[in-house]
Structure 1
Amino acid sequence: MTQADLSSEIGAALPYLRRYARALTGSQTTGDKYAAATLEAVLADRTMVAEASSGKAGLFQVFHGIWITTGAPVTEDDTGPRAAAQRHLAKLTTNSREALLLHTIEEFSMAEVGEIMQTGADEAETLIDTARREMADGMSGRVLIIEDEAIIAMDLESIVADLGHRVTGVARTRDGAIKLAHQEAPDLILADIQLADNSSGVDAVNDILGQLGERPVIFITAFPERLLTGDKPEPAFLISKPYSEEQVRSAISQAMFFSSTETLRA
């Protein structure tokens, strides 16, 4: 692989590294800092990336090396619910959540997950199975769905219910979403970007968070790279369309760990 090819692969993979980092930390700011540190490390020494099975796998492998050495610490900014979420995450089996995200959200194969985490494919599969069990026994709460396509909304409702959460309502428009959020405040919001009346799911979420306070949000979009630039406030949790059930289940479980609302049940 030439330097130009390697640079191109790294550039194409960088938005998805941001997505992974944000999902791990539950924060755009913290996740993007990890992604930036990874890029700096690669620019200083491209050996690991160049020797990996692909530029993307190599980039994530460098990230993982940085992540495990820092121990995903609670920072000075992580107080109250944020610190509590990190302590909850610390109780999970080491590397299990990372393996689950790499496989379900970033769609790496078992072999690639093993390569990134420097373990075997069998060990990666064991970690993923462990994460599924541990996170299934995690928190449950109230979920607001903002989605204008009826079939997709029904599918999301089913997935949310199967995870043990309760759907507070399904909104097709920005105004409808705001109304439902006021009727019953959600612990988590699952939102499409483009809504039925050409209103924005992003605007609906911003309105709700501005009135009810911070809570985790998962955006669903056919163009994830547009919301993974790092240039402006962007979501910490993002699913690509078309999505798989496993991706939605994983993202919801991850996001619930970072909820600061008081209506969650452990």
Structure 2
Amino acid sequence: MTTLRVLVVEDAAIIALDIANRVKRLGHEVAGVASTAETAWEKARETRPDLVLMDINLKGEQNGIEAASRIAEELGIRSIFITAYSDKEMKERALATRPLGYIVKPIREADLEKVLAAAEEEFLKGRRT
């Protein structure tokens, strides 16, 4: 198993802490935690994580889809989206950014483990090419 460095972006502090703890329990490293799109961009630039767990609905001017798009375009770092909402239009906009996965809240540890394992495979494949 490869240890992934994961940036957690979630505007609810208690949920962000829970996600970070779950990531660690699953054997990965938390590169940082951010609560806004702008902070996510800054932390991604500073810490260069392998991937971002990105909440779609963030407080502030930008949402998680916009933040993930910028991080992917400018830094080449892909995201796994997390959302409490699964409406079709939002999911289509999110999928247009080529995420590594998509999780609907409340997050089940089995779902997180599965999407992180798939991201790990994708990450390793990218290293080989």
Q: 2:37 is matched with which residue?
A: 174
Distance 1:189 1:257 in 2: 15
Q: 1:200 is matched with which residue?
A: 63
Q: CA deviation at 1:166?
A: 1.0
Q: 1:223 is matched with which residue?
A: 85
Q: 2:23 is matched with which residue?
A: 160
Q: CA deviation at 1:194?
A: 1.0
1:148 aligns with 2:7: no
1:164 to 1:217, Cα distance in 2 relative to 1, 3 A:
same
Q: Which has the larger radius of gyration?
A: 1
Matches within 5 A, 1:83-162: 138-162=1-25
Structure whose residues are more often strand by fraction: 2
Q: CA deviation at 1:258?
A: 0.5
SS of residue in 1 equivalent to 2:40:
helix
Whether the aligned pair in 1 keeps the contact of 2:54 and 2:64 (CA below 8 Å) is: yes
* Per-residue Cα deviation, 1:48-92 (whole angstroms, up to 9, x for no partner): xxxxxxxxxxxxxxxxxxxxxxxxxxxxxxxxxxxxxxxxxxxxx
Whether the aligned pair in 2 keeps the contact of 1:139 and 1:257 (CA below 8 Å) is: no
Q: 2:114 is matched with which residue?
A: 250
Whether the aligned pair in 1 keeps the contact of 2:71 and 2:78 (CA below 8 Å) is: no
SS of residue in 1 equivalent to 2:103:
strand
Whether the aligned pair in 2 keeps the contact of 1:224 and 1:238 (CA below 8 Å) is: no
- TM-score, length of structure 1 as denominator length: 0.43
1:261 to 1:172, Cα distance in 2 relative to 1, 3 A:
farther
* Per-residue Cα deviation, 1:157-184 (whole angstroms, up to 9, x for no partner): 1111112211111111111001101111
- TM-score, length of structure 2 as denominator length: 0.84
Q: 1:209 is matched with which residue?
A: 72
* Per-residue Cα deviation, 1:110-132 (whole angstroms, up to 9, x for no partner): xxxxxxxxxxxxxxxxxxxxxxx
Q: CA deviation at 1:199?
A: 2.5
AA at the equivalent of 1:165: H
Distance 1:183 1:236 in 2: 21
Gaps of 5+ in 1: 1-137
Distance 2:92 2:63 in 1: 19
SS of residue in 2 equivalent to 1:258:
helix
SS of residue in 2 equivalent to 1:139:
coil
SS of residue in 2 equivalent to 1:153:
helix
Root mean square deviation, CA, Å: 2.1
Structure whose residues are more often helix by fraction: 1
Displaced runs of 4+ in structure 1, greater than 6 A?
Answer: none
SS of residue in 2 equivalent to 1:224:
coil
Q: 2:105 is matched with which residue?
A: 241
Q: CA deviation at 1:229?
A: 4.3
